[in-house]
Every structure is written in structure tokens, then in C-alpha cells.
């Protein structure tokens, strides 16, 4: 059914259609509308046989999710930003125990300083946690990926994060096609857990493992991710047959077949990039876009196949690995190993800064001319940054009492604001 709705409400409807048995979450912007919507649906009886558990923190939310999933319940939660950091220990435990929990991450920056707007730092901070990570470009894809996520999680017995850009998608109203309960039921069968805690047959989970076995345990987690890498395209094909539209998969290519320049990105920024690419194509530039949906497991072969005929690659990412530059770029460069390609990293949109078509036009034109640096910070105010760096240098030379970082941040904010 086609309807105009907020992205968060679309996701709540999708999760409800997946018949979860336990929903536990602690509200944090910009995830709040999702769990509010689910709470209302559970209270109204629209989601049958489901318990909505109010918890006192994000750590508690993931801990409850671990407990409910371990007892055989289809389990869902959601978080963002500092929330995912608070539950970090339990995030690792969930994947280490092989529990098929589905969690929405409404992507948001991590402080300090505090920032509630979108970038990908929160999800990417957990990239090595053992969770599958899927990134949505649109609200329709966010809706679809949640349905896919439950099936994927339960088939490989691994937890799945569905990442959608905070506010840009969660609070945007778009037209989406909400499937029927019958369609979802035909795609997603009732949950049959591989492991169940049973009081009549007690066992310990998460017990200590010594050095003689720990490497093997960690390798098995990696092997399950490789199984997911093979399964994700198959589930995308099943999804298309059931629902009549493409969604999910490992990557999406756009005008890459003959492209000399390929831009790689994840999430909602892909739509803006495609608009710019269309305009540059009309001007005669051979440029294309590769959107990554599955960031973990990372589709090395798919990325390599998409890039192998290009001359240069620009990875545009909403994250910063402080001290080196790119996060996603590191994985893309691994896929490019042995290929004669120019590789460029562009850090953009941190803390919700707008990424405009004008800036992207100038950026891509510079890349096509071979003038782009290996690491670029899009639209960075160099005057403000350089003044602050010089101020710090003077402070270090003038005496032992350097001014605090808190004041430095306040000065920068005041100058920009």
C-alpha cells in the first residue's frame, strides 16, 4: 500500500509486520519516533503476542535483547550515537553469542562536542563488533531492509544493524510502499531459534574461553559473516520475487559501466550524488556512483568488479578516522589492491553539515581534472581552523598552562556561528 509517511513510522510499520515478540529500547534522538510508534502499535494490539519493555538505559536495552533472543524470542531494538556507545559491551556480546537481534541505528554524530545531527560515526565505531551492517539510501529501502534483516539474522544466526541517516531519513516524509502482512509472512517464516535457554535443560552461555580456543571462536564469527556475504544477494532476489521491487543486496551501481571516475558512498547522500552525476553526464563527463549497502560483511569482490575499469575512485564518507582520514576508504582501498587507480578520500557532512550539489560539482570536477588531494575535507573553513591552530601554537610557546580544549571548541563555535 502506497502512503506518505515519516521514515521512522515506515520502519515501525515494517518491524511490526515482522511479528517481533520482544521490543526493548531507550529513547534517544533521532531514533525516538521509531520506538514510540512501535509502543503505540503494541499497546493498541496491532502487533500480536509482543512485549514492549521499557528499560532504563541503552545498555539495558541490549542486555534485555540478548536475554529475550537467547530464550527464543524474535527481538528488536533501536539506538543512535552515544546510545550505541553506552551499549557497546553488550553489542559485542550479542554477536559473540550468535543471537539474531535486529537493531535500527538512526545514524548520528558522537560528541564531544554534543551534536544531534547526522553522520556515520556511531555505526562505524562498531564495524568490528561482529554485527552485519546494512545502510539505507531511502526510506523505502530502510523499510525493506528491516524485513530482509530479520530473515538474514535468523538464517545465519547473527545480529543485524539497519543504519538509516538520522533526521535526513528518520524525520523525512516520503511516499513508501508498505507491504501487507500476508506478503511479509510469505517471505519471513516464524522464528525457529538455533539455540534456546531452557530452565529444564540448563546451560551456560558466554562462558570463559582460554587462549587455546579463542582464535577459533573469533574465526567462526568471521566465517558466519562470509556466509552472510553469499546469502545477502540471494535474499535480495527472493525479496524482489515476493514484493516486486529491488531492495537490499551488497551494492548498487549507477552509470559505472563506462565511467572513468566512480564515486563510492553509503546512505542518503547517494541521491544527491546521483543528481550531480546526471548533470555531469549531460556535460559529457564519464562519471558514475557505487552505493554500498552491506558495509559488514564488506563486499570486496563486488566493489573491485565495479571499480576495475575506472581511472579514479572518490570515496565520499560521513565519518573521520582521526589520525588517518577515511574509514570506508580503508576497505575500498583493499578492494582496489593491484588495480591502477587513483584513490581519493573525501570527508563530508560531519555533524550534519549540508553536502550541496554545488560543492559536489566542484569536488568531482576537480577529481576529473586530476587535481584532488588524497584526503579532502569538503567545505572546511580553513581560515577558522588555521587561526585556531596558530593560537594553540602560540599558547604552547608562551607558557606551561595551555588553554583548555573546552574553550577552544567554544571559540571555534562562536566564530563559525
What is the full DSSP assignment across 142-180?
A: HHHHHHHHHHHHHHHT--EEEEEETTTTTT-EEEEEPPP
Q: 5-54, pLDDT tens digit by residue?
A: 999 999 999 999 999 999 999 999 999 999 999 999 999 999 999 999 99
Confidence of residue 395 (pLDDT cuts 50, 70, 90): confident
pLDDT of residue 401: 47
The sign of the torsion formed by the CA atoms of 125, 127, 132, 136 equals positive
Angle, helix 139-156 to helix 211-243, in steps of 10 degrees: 130
Question: Considering the chain, what percentage of its residues have pLDDT values greater than 90?
Answer: 90
pLDDT of residue 354: 97
pLDDT of residue 413: 58
Angle at 157 between CA 74 and CA 302, to 5 degrees: 120
For residues 291 and 137, give the distance between their C-alpha atoms in angstroms, rounded to a whole number: 8
Contact predicate 314/373, CB 8 Å: no
Looking up cell 559473540, which residue turns up? 96
Q: 228-240, pLDDT tens digit by residue?
A: 999 999 999 999 9
CA distances from 32 to 11, 93, 244 (A): 12, 24, 30
Q: Strand 160-165 and strand 251-254: pairing?
A: unpaired
Cell of 380: 572546511
Total count of residues recorded for the chain: 417
Annotate 293-308 with DSSP letters as a single string.
SEEES--HHHHHHHHT
Q: What average pLDDT does range 160-165 have in this prediction? A: 98
For residues 96 and 90, give the distance between their C-alpha atoms in angstroms, rounded to a whole number: 10
User: E strands within 63-156?
Assistant: 75-79, 102-107, 132-135
Contact predicate 391/374, CB 8 Å: no
The three-class DSSP label of residue 253 is strand
Q: Strand 312-317 and strand 342-347: pairing?
A: parallel
pLDDT score of 398 more than 80: no
Angle at 120 between CA 220 and CA 367, to 5 degrees: 105
Annotate 342-388 with DSSP letters as a single string.
EEEEEE--GGG----HHHHHHHHHHHHTT---SEEETT--HHHHHHH
For residues 190 and 70, give the distance between their C-alpha atoms in angstroms, rounded to a whole number: 16
Cell of 121: 560515526
Among 89, 30, 27, smallest CA distance to 52 is for 27
Q: 255-271, pLDDT tens digit by residue?
A: 999 999 999 999 999 99
pLDDT score of 410 more than 70: no
pLDDT score of 405 more than 80: no
Residues 140-163 as b/e (b if ≥16 CB within 10 A, e otherwise) read bbbbbbbbbbbbbbbebbbbbbbb
Among 385, 321, 382, smallest CA distance to 350 is for 321
pLDDT score of 402 more than 50: no
For residues 38 and 53, give the distance between their C-alpha atoms in angstroms, rounded to a whole number: 11
Q: 315-370, pLDDT tens digit by residue?
A: 999 999 999 999 999 999 999 999 989 999 999 999 999 999 999 999 999 999 99
For residues 158 and 179, give the distance between their C-alpha atoms in angstroms, rounded to a whole number: 25
pLDDT of residue 291: 98
Number of H helices, E strands in the chain: 15, 15
The three-class DSSP label of residue 100 is coil
N- to C-terminal Cα separation, the chain: 44
For residues 276 and 263, give the distance between their C-alpha atoms in angstroms, rounded to a whole number: 11
Q: 54-69, pLDDT tens digit by residue?
A: 999 999 999 999 999 9
Q: What's the pTM?
A: 0.95
Among 269, 58, 35, 293, smallest CA distance to 152 is for 293
Amino acid at each position: 500500500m502506497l502512503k506518505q509517511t515519516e521514515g521512522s513510522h515506515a520502519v515501525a510499520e515494517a518491524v511490526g509486520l515482522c511479528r517481533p515478540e520482544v521490543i526493548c529500547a531507550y529513547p534517544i534522538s533521532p531514533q525516538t519516533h521509531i520506538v514510540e510508534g512501535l509502543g503505540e502499535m503494541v499497546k493498541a494490539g496491532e502487533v500480536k503476542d509482543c512485549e514492549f519493555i521499557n528499560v532504563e538505559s541503552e545498555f539495558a536495552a541490549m542486555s534485555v535483547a540478548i536475554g529475550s533472543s537467547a530464550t527464543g524470542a524474535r527481538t528488536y531494538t533501536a539506538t543512535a550515537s552515544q546510545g550505541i556507545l553506552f551499549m557497546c559491551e553488550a553489542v559485542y556480546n550479542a554477536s559473540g553469542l550468535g543471537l539474531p537481534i535486529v537493531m535500527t541505528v538512526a545514524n548520528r554524530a558522537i560528541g564531544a562536542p554534543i551534536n544531534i545531527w547526522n553522520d556515520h560515526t556511531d555505526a562505524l565505531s562498531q564495524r568490528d563488533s561482529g554485527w552485519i551492517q546494512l545502510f539505507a539510501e531511502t526510506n523505502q529501502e530502510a523499510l525493506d531492509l528491516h524485513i530482509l534483516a530479520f530473515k538474514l539474522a535468523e538464517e545465519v544466526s547473527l545480529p543485524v544493524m539497519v543504519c538509516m541517516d538520522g533526521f535526513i531519513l528518520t524525520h523525512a516524509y516520503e511516499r513508501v510502499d508498505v507491504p501487507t502482512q500476508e506478503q511479509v509472512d510469505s517471505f519471513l517464516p516464524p522464528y525457529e531459534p538455533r539455540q534456546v535457554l531452557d530452565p529444564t535443560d540448563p546451560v551456560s552461555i558466554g562462558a570463559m574461553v582460554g587462549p587455546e580456543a579463542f582464535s577459533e571462536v573469533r574465526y567462526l564469527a568471521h566465517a558466519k559473516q562470509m556466509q552472510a556475504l553469499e546469502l545477502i544477494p540471494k535474499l535480495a532476489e527472493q525479496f524482489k520475487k515476493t514484493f516486486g521491487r529491488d531492495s537490499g543486496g551488497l551494492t548498487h551501481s549507477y552509470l559505472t559501466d563506462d565511467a572513468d571516475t566512480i564515486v563510492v558512498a553509503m546512505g542518503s547522500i547517494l541521491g544527491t550524488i546521483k543528481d550531480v552525476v546526471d548533470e555531469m553526464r549531460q556535460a559529457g563527463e564519464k562519471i558514475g556512483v557505487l552505493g554500498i549497502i552491506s558495509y559488514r560483511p564488506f563486499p570486496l569482490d563486488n566493489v573491485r568488479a565495479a571499480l576495475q575499469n575506472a581511472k579514479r575512485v572518490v570515496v565520499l564518507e560521513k565519518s573521520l578516522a582521526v589520525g588517518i582520514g577515511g574509514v570506508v576508504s580503508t576497505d575500498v582501498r583493499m578492494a582496489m589492491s593491484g588495480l591502477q587507480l587513483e584513490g581519493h578520500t573525501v570527508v563530508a557532512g560531519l555533524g550534519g553539515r549540508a553536502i550541496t550539489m554545488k560543492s559536489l560539482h566542484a569536488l568531482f570536477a576537480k577529481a576529473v581534472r586530476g587535481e584532488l588531494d588524497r584526503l579532502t575535507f569538503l567545505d572546511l573553513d580553513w581560515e577558522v581552523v588555521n587561526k585556531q591552530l596558530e593560537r594553540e601554537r602560540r599558547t604552547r610557546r608562551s607558557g606551561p598552562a595551555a588553554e583548555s580544549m573546552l574553550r577552544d571548541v567554544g571559540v571555534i563555535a562562536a566564530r563559525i556561528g
